[in-house]
Structure 1
Amino acid sequence: MPTMTAAQRRDLAKQEFDAFLADCPSRLVLDRISDKWVTLVIASLADGPLRFSELSRQLAGVSQKMLTQTLRTLERDGLVTRTVTASVPVRVDYALTDLGVSLQDTVRHLKTWAESHVPQVREAQEAYDRRAGQEVGA
């Protein structure tokens, strides 16, 4: 392997985690946190631990299978902890880890932005659809 200068090593280090590069590992992280259920689970856990049933009620439209998969993935990624308490019935709580908490502000801002800009997005979609319909008919 050829000797590299300090500048070349810095450039290489920058490229290792450049999401614009096709094989950058950060794309896996971006893919994960851009999932709507991941975003909503993180937002739901912002105020503290919740049980599976509480999360399920809060996340209207999520199936049990999807919520289970999402929670397992978040646990694997180190964003959520799963705590089992021996009782009858068994109690399982989900909470954000420190890493999950570090993502919480970003997710909250994204959720707030989405909720605040629905009218503008819908308006843009309708305008686009009208233009696209005119082009087809032209």
Structure 2
Amino acid sequence: MNYTTLKKLGFVAIVGFLLLFVVDTFCPIENIIGIPCPGCGMSSAFYHLIHLDLNSAMFFHPLIIPCLLYFVGIGIAYLRYQSFNNKPVKILTIIFMVALVVVYVYRMITIFPEYPMMYNNDSLLGRIIEFIN
């Protein structure tokens, strides 16, 4: 990994960390429009997974295991090709993104607005609508 890549990763990490303190969450989509994003619950799922609670992990986001496999897969592809711009990474990314959208739509139909896919009443859009009414 070269210095430029490390600088970019460091920048993303710092922005993410600051975002946590500025908006009190990693999900700016939920804070702006109020509805959960496709990755909503992934960090909670990861937390439960590392504590070996698979049922809770799957409750918070059913794609936690495929997500980890996706990152392992693109990591292996990167090590082999020394680039993320290769066919295996593109195929894995398309498959994972399609799965993410399908699971998101399913969860929005079957779970929203119940826990863990709740509506954020304090979102920017929610406050604007409340102000107008």
Return the structure number with greater strand share. Answer: 1
Scaled by the length of structure 1, the TM-score of the pair is 0.26
Report the structure, 1 or 2, having the larger helix content: 2
Bigger radius of gyration? 1
Q: TM-score, normalised by structure 2?
A: 0.27
